[in-house]
Amino acid sequence: MEKKEEKRISKIAVQSNALINARYDMTAFQKKILLYIIAKIQHDDKDFQNYIINIKDFVEEADYKSKMLYDKLRKDTKALISKVYEIEEPDGLLQVSILAKAKYIKNKGQIHVSFAPDLKPYLLQLKEQFTATPLRYVLNFKSVHSMRIYEMLQQFKSTGFLVTPIEDLKYRLSLEDKYKTYTLFKRRVVEQAQKELQHTDMAFEFTEVKKGRKVVQLQFKIKPPNEILLSEEQQRIARKLGTDLFLSTLQAKKIVIYVPSKEVLKTIFDIKSAQREGRIKTNIAAYAYGVFKKKYQLDNQKKLST
């Protein structure tokens, strides 16, 4: 069995950008299941495996409490078999089932699932045009549209901007026949996503572009880390990084934005243990930030403005 720490760190769903931008319709719960399964794919997998959902682990990772989820998971993996990706390919539109099968294993609390073979080019051995989505935030979102907008923004985190016609965005989200007025779409989808993403690494502002009096395009701007407002939990942990490890405010903020809270607390504990045992020979702040940078690849994240 995988170690719990390894499972948490590996919760990154890597997908082709074609899947990020595909058209499909599903509930937030189904989307969480899908991302959870995608995160189990290994970068060196040459073929799809029989991926196992340990229901107890999923419930913990997604921060659910109800035991009723055992039945809900079975129903929603079944529903995912009937869900279809519509993927724009160079020579046409591919319509493909998302899951090929799902099997509930009695008395083990497991569901074994496999992907449709036609999805191999979009999930396996990806070398370019892909997006890695950390699950630390999206598993807690309430809206499936917030999850999808988070994924879309992840594609553009290097530039910080996403520009999209509203009709294209509604098409990808399968919302052409819903939210007939822009005002309703803005409130239920865009502003809801903005609220759910406000404490994440993809917090954003958006600008409306009009043609005449009609809003036809949205310009999303991803906020730099120094402009992201921390949640109460993030603020508490940032203060702990300052008092326990003497990290600067900017260093602490970067860590709590990009590293899961449980991982931050565990790393603080490990560093303090090393200090008590006399294994740290340098300045503890420099040592601690070095540990976080190496362990969580903070240098690959956006730099904080000073």
Q: Give tens-digit pLDDT for 162-209.
A: 999 999 999 999 999 899 899 999 999 999 999 999 999 999 999 999
Buried b (16+ CB within 10 A) or exposed e, 217-252: bbebbbbebeebebeeebeebbebbeeebebeeebb
Share the mean pLDDT of the chain.
90
Residue 305's pLDDT band (cuts 50, 70, 90):
very low
Run of H or E including 208: strand 204-211
The answer on pLDDT for 303 being more than 60 is no
The torsion region of residue 125 among left (phi > 0), alpha (psi -120 to 50) and beta comes to left
Alpha carbon distance 61, 278 (integer Å): 34
Residue 71's pLDDT band (cuts 50, 70, 90):
confident
CA distances from 191 to 163, 183, 184, 209, 220 (A): 16, 10, 10, 16, 12
Better-predicted residue by pLDDT, 242 or 60: 242
The percent of the chain in helix, strand and coil, each rounded to the nearest 5, is: 45, 20, 30
Going 172 to 176 to 177 to 183, the CA torsion angle's sign is: positive
DSSP 167: H
Q: ∠110-113-119 over CA atoms, to 5°?
A: 160
What is the per-residue pLDDT for 281?
Answer: 87
HSE of 212 in the Cβ direction (CA atoms, 13 Å)? 1
Phi, psi of 53 (to 5 degrees): -100, 110
Contact in structure between 38 and 13 (CB atoms under 8 Å): yes
Buried b (16+ CB within 10 A) or exposed e, 99-120: beebebeeeebebbbebbeebe
Q: Give tens-digit pLDDT for 74-132.
A: 899 999 999 999 999 999 999 999 999 999 988 888 999 999 999 999 999 999 999 99
176, burial (CB in 10 Å: exposed 0-12, middle 13-18, buried 19+): exposed
Alpha carbon distance 194, 146 (integer Å): 8
Alpha carbon distance 101, 116 (integer Å): 8
Alpha carbon distance 292, 302 (integer Å): 15
